[in-house]
């Protein structure tokens, strides 16, 4: 059964049990889909109190708040409707869906689990929901109203509605719907995939029907009936029908001059949460502006060319490297010349995303530290969280640049806050006063307060504790994840070490991402290799071009120094450098005098290329390295480096790696004995440092014998041949006889499913 087929089957279970019989899909025999329960849930979601500051909490928090004090049957219904809501979106990870449903079920007085066949469907999806995911509360409230309405019907009427697509549509449309149109389209398709379109885009559906009107002659004006008729006509000719493929092509090349999307405002990300160690965002919101800081600069006129701006930069800061010079030129050029009235402006403060519209031109306030250049902004009350955005949009908001062109991410954000694409603002309420301190222009003694009041940032108090949901997403034990973050906080340098395929780099990046995002910091990755040097990692002189195109030879900062500069400017954020394959470089050569600072964070030293300049490694800088124990270059790690790092092992057969593959296989409904096969292989290897990690088998191909054989032949056996190189005359034959798939399968493992791939014979021969 394909992923989509699992989704359709799961939907039918929910409809047959819930809509048709008031029965629970998770606990059959428990009548939770009753009119009373559904109305109670709808009221809880529809009449949630609005926060006084106008900031909307994230959906999981709102959902939990709405269910506080609810009857267990209402909580059960809430979990099942949330499950139904999450079936269609293909742009939400299965683990995210699973955690969301389980979080609701935790409020039940006794444990409730999602049945295995329903749980597996969460890894599938039908169509991207995009910005529509921000309206989950409204979508679930509408489905609850539908359930309440359906529950009042006689059972034979419910049965009839579930047997016919147009009867089912009439049943849904009997419940008013103003904010759940995407959910309606999704539910129609989930229930009757052969009749209704697999999209939640009204514009895309309209474009398809308009482009294919000739298939049916005259259109009826009923978009869904016209679509169904067009589909029947196309399939009657024996042609394949794929709406999603057509929509993808239409999005790239709209036919007949059609536009695949509405125009959208240009958008800018302006960072204000960490400006010279201060958080300016609260003042921006209260006084209606955004700003950039250029201390020591004179007024730069609007309209200067980049070359003219570059000359100003050189006059003020003559010692900049070409890269630093280009950064400052671009910042001034974008803020003064490219940003325009009416543009969208976005700023991020911790996990909050604030949105506004530029309402004026740039102006200079030399005495207003640290906000020298400003633009007036109309900030909206609608406040988003990072989690409300798609993964692509969240990635766009990461990084360190003070000013970023958002590109098409601006359109997504504008849609989420209900902002008209080109003209007026639909949400006509600006952000209000934040608190009494910012609201009152006079101090307690009646004297005017400074106009440049900002929120100072305290030093980082500690790293956030990882959640159980994050551990579940990473397929590791919660205790191990908590310990890992504790080690990182305690030592500030950590190495994840183990044999190939144990997820070292993935886990390092995810831990770095978590602690950085939770503290308003940042993270980046570098990979060491034998030619990597101090000049690459810390700083060194390099040739380059200046902003005006002239050749220059100047000192350039490496990734460590750039991260340190950012961390020093934002002491309350965690800044994490992930060093992949840390043992592949000459560490003493790469780190140089930083060996000392890794152990003594509160001391200052002079770097070899920065004579007369004191340098310190801030306490909020963290390093996570990864090390492959099968790599002979591990000998390059000396005792001094070992003493300065905490070491966290990742070995097959030991937590958290021991159950990682089994959890992944269970999540994807794949044969569990593949994990037993890996255990048998590592037992045959008999060397902890040379064991094979689970990531090699975290592949959908393991579902078939041919797919598993291919992985074994092309990835695992070559790894083991390298290990035994020089030990036998016929290394390949020795490895195949000892570790081959056929050998291990014969050791009492269950038979594999039938081969389904065309090259099964070749793969089997390579065992």
Give residue for tokens 């990473």. Answer: 474
Asked if 731 and 597 sit in the same domain, the reply is no
Which uninterrupted H or E stretch holds 411? helix 409-416
Q: Are residues 257 and 271 in the same domain?
A: no
Cβ-based neighbour number of residue 515 at 10 Å: 25
- The secondary structure of residue 244, as a DSSP letter, is H
DSSP structure class, residue 102? H
Q: Where a domain ends, among 164, 191, 218? A: 191
At which of 417, 437, 457 does a domain end?
437
Residue 579, SS3 per DSSP? strand
**Confidence bin at 508 (pLDDT 50/70/90):** very high
- Per-residue model confidence (pLDDT) at position 633: 53
648 - beta bridge partners?
496
Per-residue pLDDT at 458 exceeds 60: yes
| Highest mean predicted confidence (pLDDT) among 443-452, 481-490, 739-748 | 481-490
Alpha carbon distance 651, 503 (integer Å): 10
Helices (H) and strands (E) in the chain, counts: 35, 18
Q: Which residues have CB under 8 Å from 526's CB, separation 6+?
A: 537, 559, 577, 578, 579, 580
Asked if residue 656 has a cis previous peptide bond (ω within 30° of 0), the answer is: yes
Is 401 within 8 Å of 270 (Cβ atoms)? no
Q: Verify that 283 and 253 share a domain, yes or no.
A: no
Confirm whether 196 is domain-assigned.
no
Q: What is the pLDDT of residue 91?
A: 79
Residue 334 inside a domain? The answer is yes
Label residue 640 by pLDDT band (50, 70, 90).
confident
Note whether 432 and 439 are within 8 A (CB): no
Whether residues 483 and 564 share a domain: the answer is: yes
CA distance 421 to 415: 8
Looking at the fold, whether 667 and 569 belong to one and the same domain comes out as no
Both 140 and 23 in one domain: the answer is yes
Q: Are residues 507 and 490 in the same domain?
A: yes
pLDDT at 16 over 90: yes
- Give the pLDDT score at 196: 95
Residues 731 and 592 in one domain: no
What sign has the CA pseudo-torsion 312, 317, 318, 319?
negative
Taking residues 51-55, what's their average pLDDT? 44
The stretch 731-753 carries a mean pLDDT of 78
Backbone angles phi, psi at 569, to 5 degrees: -80, -15
Higher pLDDT, 580 or 134: 580
Are 139 and 206 found together in one domain? Answer: no
Residue 64 lies in a domain: yes
Helical pair 202-211 and 223-236, crossing angle rounded to 10 deg? 50
444, part of any domain: no
Final residue belonging to a domain, choices 213, 236, 261: 261
Nearest to 136 by CA among 92, 191, 196: 92
What's the pLDDT at 648?
95
User: What stretches of 361-422 adopt beta strand conformation (E)?
Assistant: 363-364, 373-385, 403-405
**What is the structure's pLDDT at 745?**
83
Task: Give tens-digit pLDDT for 312-359.
Answer: 999 999 888 877 888 899 999 999 999 988 889 999 988 789 999 898
- Rounded to 5°, the CA angle 401-407-410 comes to 100
Task: Please report, for residues 39, 118, 480, 504, the alpha-carbon distance to residue 474 in angstroms, rounded to integers and kept in the order given.
Answer: 37, 21, 11, 12
* More confident site: 588 or 626: 626
Q: What is the mean pLDDT of residues 624-639?
A: 77
The DSSP annotation for 488-528 comes to HHHHSEEEEEESTTS-HHHHHHHHHHHHHHHTT-EEEEEE-
229-241 pLDDT, tens digit each:
999 999 898 888 8
pLDDT in tens, 540-580: 988 876 656 677 777 889 999 999 988 987 888 999 999 99
* Within-domain flag for 393: yes
The predicted pLDDT at position 547 comes to 58
Pair (177, 301) in one structural domain: no
Distance from C-alpha of 568 to C-alpha of 560, rounded to nearest angstrom: 12
Please give the pLDDT value at position 554. 77
Cβ proximity of 102 and 467 under 8 Å: no
* Residues 256, 273 within the same domain: no
Residue 462 lies inside a defined structural domain of this protein: no
Total domains in the chain come to 5
Tell me which of 272 and 411 has the higher pLDDT: 272
Q: Residue 253 pLDDT more than 90?
A: no
Q: Are residues 500 and 626 in the same domain?
A: yes
Instruction: Report helix, strand and coil shares of the chain as percent, to nearest 5.
Output: 50, 15, 40
pLDDT value at 118 more than 70: yes
**pTM for the whole thing?**
0.50
Q: Has residue 459 been placed in a domain? A: no
**What phi, psi does 734 have (nearest 5°)?**
-60, -45
DSSP letters along 636-660, please?
A: G--HHHHHHSEEEE--TTSTTTTTH
Q: Which residues pair with 353 in a beta bridge?
A: 348, 384
CATH number at residue 426: 3.10.590
Dihedral sign of CA atoms 423, 424, 427, 431 in order:
positive
Q: Which of 128-132, 259-263, 397-401, 673-677 has the highest mean pLDDT?
A: 673-677
Cα-trace Rg, the chain: 30
- For residue 68, is it within any domain? yes
Range of the domain at 310: 267-437
| More confident call, 608 vs 368 | 608
Q: What pLDDT shows up at residue 454?
A: 37
């Amino acid at each position: 059964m394909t992923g989509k087929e699992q989704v359709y089957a799961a939907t039918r279970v929910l409809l047959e049990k819930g809509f048709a019989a008031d029965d629970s899909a998770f606990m059959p025999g428990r009548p939770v889909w009753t009119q009373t329960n559904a109305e109670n849930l709808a009221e809880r979601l529809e009449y949630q109190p609005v926060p006084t500051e106008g900031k909307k909490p994230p959906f999981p928090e709102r959902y939990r708040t709405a269910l506080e004090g609810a009857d267990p049957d209402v909580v059960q219904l809430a979990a099942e409707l949330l499950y139904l809501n999450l079936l269609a979106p293909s742009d939400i990870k299965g683990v995210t869906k699973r955690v969301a449903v389980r979080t609701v079920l935790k409020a039940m007085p006794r444990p409730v689990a999602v049945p295995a066949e329903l749980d597996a469907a969460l890894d599938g999806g039908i169509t991207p929901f995009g910005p529509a995911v921000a309206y989950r509360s409204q979508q679930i409230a509408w489905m609850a109203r539908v359930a309440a309405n359906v529950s009042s019907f006689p059972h034979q009427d419910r049965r009839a509605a579930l047997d016919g697509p147009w009867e089912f549509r009439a049943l849904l449309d009997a419940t008013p719907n103003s904010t759940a149109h995407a959910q309606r389209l999704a539910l129609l398709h989930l229930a009757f995939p052969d009749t209704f379109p697999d999209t939640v885009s009204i514009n895309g559906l309209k474009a398809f029907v308009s482009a294919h009107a000739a298939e049916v002659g005259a259109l009826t004006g009923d978009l869904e009936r016209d679509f169904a008729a067009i589909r029947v006509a196309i399939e009657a000719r024996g042609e394949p029908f794929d709406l999603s493929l057509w929509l993808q092509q239409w999005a790239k090349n709209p036919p007949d001059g059609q536009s695949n999307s509405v125009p959208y405002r240009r958008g800018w990300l302006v960072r204000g949460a960490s400006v010279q160690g201060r958080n300016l965002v609260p003042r921006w919101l209260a006084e209606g502006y955004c700003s950039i800081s250029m201390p020591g600069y004179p007024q730069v006129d609007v309209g200067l060319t980049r070359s003219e701006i570059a000359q100003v930069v050189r006059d003020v800061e003559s010692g900049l490297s070409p890269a630093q010079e280009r950064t400052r030129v671009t910042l001034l050029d974008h803020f003064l010349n490219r940003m325009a009235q009416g543009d969208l402006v976005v700023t991020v403060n911790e996990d909050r995303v604030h949105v506004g519209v530029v309402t004026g031109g740039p102006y200079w306030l030399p005495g207003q530290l640290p906000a020298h250049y400003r633009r007036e902004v109309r900030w909206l009350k609608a406040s988003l969280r990072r989690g409300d955005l798609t993964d692509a949009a969240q990635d766009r908001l990461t990084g360190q640049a003070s000013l970023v062109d958002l590109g098409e991410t601006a359109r997504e954000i504008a849609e989420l806050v209900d902002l008209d694409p080109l003209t007026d603002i639909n949400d006509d309420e600006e952000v209000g006063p934040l608190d009494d301190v910012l609201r009152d222009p006079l101090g307690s003694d009646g004297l005017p307060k400074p106009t440049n009041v900002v929120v100072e940032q305290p030093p980082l108090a500690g790293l956030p504790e990882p959640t159980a949901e994050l551990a579940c997403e990473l397929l590791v034990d919660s205790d191990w994840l908590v310990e890992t973050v504790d080690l990182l906080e305690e030592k500030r340098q950590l190495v994840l070490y183990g044999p190939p395929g144990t997820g070292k780099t993935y886990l390092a990046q995810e831990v770095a991402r978590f602690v950085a995002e939770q503290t308003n910091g940042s993270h980046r990755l570098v990979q060491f290799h034998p030619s990597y040097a101090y000049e690459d990692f810390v700083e060194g002189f390099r040739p380059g071009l200046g902003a005006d195109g002239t050749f220059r030879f100047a000192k350039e900062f490496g990734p460590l120094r750039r991260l340190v500069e950012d961390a020093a400017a934002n002491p309350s954020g965690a800044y994490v450098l992930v060093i992949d394959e840390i043992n592949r470089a000459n560490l003493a050569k790469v780190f140089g005098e930083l060996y000392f600072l890794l152990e003594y964070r509160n001391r200052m030293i002079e770097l070899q290329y920065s004579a007369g300049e004191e340098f310190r490694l801030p306490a909020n800088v963290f390093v996570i390295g990864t090390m492959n124990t099968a790599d002979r270059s591990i000998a390059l790690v000396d005792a001094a480096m070992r003493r300065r790092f905490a070491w966290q092992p990742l070995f097959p057969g030991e937590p958290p790696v021991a159950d990682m593959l089994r959890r992944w296989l269970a999540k994807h409904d794949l044969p569990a004995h593949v994990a037993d096969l890996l255990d048998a292989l590592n037992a045959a290897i008999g060397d902890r440092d040379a064991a094979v990690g689970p990531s090699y088998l975290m592949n959908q191909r393991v579902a078939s014998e041919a797919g598993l054989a291919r992985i074994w032949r092309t990835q695992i056996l070559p790894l083991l041949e390298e290990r035994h190189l020089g030990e036998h005359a016929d290394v390949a034959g020795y490895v195949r006889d000892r570790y081959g798939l056929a050998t291990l399968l014969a050791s009492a493992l269950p038979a594999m499913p039938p081969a389904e791939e065309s090259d099964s014979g070749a793969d089997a021969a390579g065992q």
